[in-house]
Structure formats: C-alpha cells, structure tokens
Structure 1
Amino acid sequence: MPLLEIAHDRVLADDWVLVADDAPLPEAPAILSPARLRQEAEAHAGRNAPLGLLLDPATQPEEIADLLPRLSLVQVALPKSKDGRAFTQARALREHFGFTGEIRAAGHLLPDHARMLRRCGVTTVALPEGADLEAWRRFGAVVDIAYQPAQDEGLPLGLRRRRLKAA
C-alpha cells in the first residue's frame, strides 16, 4: 500500500507494521490498539522502535490523550468516504492535545479528501493499491484559499482571515 506524504506530494516507504492484539510485537515500528498499549505499558518502556496507535473512528481523542507522549504515529480510519470523524480526530490531536507526530489517514479515501486532510493536520495517507497518485496531487492543490484557521500554516489566507490579520 503506497504511503503519500500530502504536504510534499511524495511517496514514502512504509516501515510501520499494524499489529493485532494477539500477535507478537515486532522490532519494527508498530501500530497497536489503545487497549494493547495500555495493557503492555511497562513492556514498551524500554523499546527502541517507535510506537503508533490505531485510532478507531468511535474513540474520542480525549480517551487516548494519556498515551500521546509515547507515540510517534496515530492512524485515523475512514471506514466510508462520507465519515468525517477522522478529520475531527486529527484536528483535535493537533489543536487540543499538541500531538506533533505523524497522523496517518487510512481506509476509504478519495483524492478530493487530500486538501481537507492536510488542513486538519494529517501528514500521510495510506493509499489503496492501484490509487491514482496524480489525481491525489491534483486534488491537493484545487482550492488555494480557506476561510477557517487550520493546521496547514503558510497557505494563503481567505479574505476574512487576511482582514483580521491586518487589523
């Protein structure tokens, strides 16, 4: 599955392994469930490889806030293209909890999600096999102004935000 870094439109190698709750923990960077991270907290204390968390769409970011300092990655899931909970989760992780690590989106993703994922703080997208990479790149640049503040600093400000900044 290709991994697209949406801020720089480049394909990255994916070294992370999604680990089931009953599977042995590999030496590679591992993405675990919140339950397993909590259950084996002491065992992970001396671990050299990074840890990630698989955030279920129904889980509120507040519920995993205590785990964030130990994480390098949080993977949010989009079970359907019309399910916006991952966008809300990503933004909350960045704005309310100060998470600075990688936020990865995975699941039923469409190229027209690219810009909004980036604005919400998502850094990488796990593209489905056979995804049109060029379509993702095109849709990432379709809209170049925004009216609401977001996590993608440095992009052009909307008219209202330009006026507020000038005042």
Structure 2
Amino acid sequence: MAEIIRNKEVVQDDWTVLREADAPLPETGKIIVPLTRWLAERGALKARKDVGVWLNPDDDPAALVDDLASLPLIAVDFPVFRDGRGYSTAFLLRTRYGFAGELRAIGDVLRDQLFYMQRVGFDAFAVREDKNIRDALNGLADFSEVYQASANLLQPLYRRVARGGAA
C-alpha cells in the first residue's frame, strides 16, 4: 500500500485513484473517480460513502458545489510540476465553497510545492512515487512565518503581531 502525507504525517493511503473514466468500479474499498464519471453516475456513486472525486486542472470546482457536504475527499491533479491551476482550484474549494473534507494533491507533486499547497488549503499530498516522502514532509515547514493571509491562515502577519507602545 502506498504512503501519503495527511495532516502533516506520513500514513498508509487507503484510497485508490481511478485514472480512467471508464475503469471498472471495485465493489468495496475507497475510490477516487474523475469528475466526468462523478457527473455521469452521481446517483449511484453518491449512495456509496467511500467515493471521492478528482479534478483535472481545467475542471471547474463549481460543478461539485451541491455535493461538497457529502464528499469525504476531493483530489486535484497536477499532471506536470509547472501547471499551477490546481492551486486556484484548492483555494476556491476551501474559501469560496467551504469544502471541509480532505483536499489532496495528486500527480506530479514534489517537495518544493508542499508548503505553498498547504497555504491554499491542501491537507493531503500523494508525493510522486520516485521521491522520498519523508524528505517531502519537511517541505511543509520550509518557512517559519508568512506575511499574507491564505486558506490555512486567515490573518496577515500585521494583524497577528501584538502592537507594542503607545497608539
């Protein structure tokens, strides 16, 4: 069983990503289906409590708005390292649409991205198989402080710092 980073810990991954939209569905086990399949088979898939959805970089996260409360997991695919559209998708899911379940980065996920991915709302990371997941875990703590507000820290630094002296 593969390992992932979830909530800043390396854990066993109990989900299977179905990359092909027409792949046969296993009878049991947790699965992550493409958005196209979810939209085509929503009724049957929604009846199962062990189904998540993964989004391509060009998928609109608004397509899941009515289903967010019932989805335990949404994965966002990064087909190549340089494709950053998934950051916007994650930020929208967390801030605009209020998704509170597991938000996972899949695909070409590398250590250098993890700190920034958690800033926009990701809390789980399927690091590329040829990379050391324990080394990648250290990427979540590359910086000790951030100036800007984001999905994982709602106040900018100037609002978090206690002001000293007379006003």
Smaller-chain TM-score bracket: 0.7 to 0.9
* Corresponding residue for residue 90 of structure 1: 90
What residue number does 1:43 align with?
44
2:47 aligns to what SS in structure 1?
A: coil
RMSD: 2.4
Q: What's the TM-score once normalised by structure 2's chain length?
A: 0.83
Structure 2 unaligned blocks of 5 or more:
none
In 2, Cα distance between equivalents of 1:104 and 1:40: 22
User: Secondary structure at the residue paired with 1:53?
Assistant: strand
Same amino acid, percent of matched pairs: 30
SS at match of 1:69: coil
Could you tell me how far apart the structure 2 residues matched to 1:41 and 1:110 are?
32
> Distance in 2 between the 1:63 and 1:42 partners?
15
Task: Pick closer, same or farther for the CA change 1:133–1:68 going to 2, 3 Å.
Answer: same
Aligned counterparts, 1:18-97, within 5 A: 18-19=17-18, 20-26=20-26, 27-47=28-48, 49-97=49-97
Q: Do 1:145 and 1:157's aligned partners in 2 also have CA atoms closer than 8 Å?
A: no
* Distance in 2 between residues matched to 1:59 and 1:46, nearest whole Å: 23
**How far does residue 121 in structure 1 lie from its aligned partner after superposition?**
0.8
Distance 1:149 1:118 in 2: 12
Q: What residue in structure 1 maps to residue 12 of structure 2?
A: 13
Partner of 1:112: 112
Cα offsets for 1:73-125 (capped at 9, x unmatched) = 11111122222111111111000111011111012222121111111110111
Give the Cα–Cα distance (whole angstroms) in 2 for the partners of residues 42 and 114 of structure 1. Answer: 34
Change (3 A) 1:28 1:143: same
Shift of 1:157: 5.5
Detail structure 1 runs of 4+ shifted over 4 Å in the superposition: none
* CA displacement at 1:38 relative to structure 2: 2.1
Q: Distance in 2 between matches of 1:80 and 1:4?
A: 19
Q: Distance in 2 between matches of 1:145 and 1:102?
A: 24
Contact 2:5 2:137 in 1 (8 A): no
**Is 2:56–2:78's contact at 8 Å kept on the other side of the alignment?**
no
Instruction: State the shift of 1:46 in Å.
Output: 3.0
Question: Structure 1: which 5+ residue stretches go unaligned?
Answer: none
Question: Which residue of 1 is the match for residue 159 of structure 2?
Answer: 161
Q: How far 1:55 sits from its partner (Å)? A: 0.3
Aligned position for 2:99: 99
Return the offset for 1:60. Answer: 2.1
- Shift in Å at residue 127 of structure 1? 1.4
Cα pair 2:81 2:110 within 8 Å, conserved: yes
Per-residue Cα deviation, 1:5-42 (whole angstroms, up to 9, x for no partner): 2x42x211111122332233221111112222122222
Report the equivalent of 1:122. 122
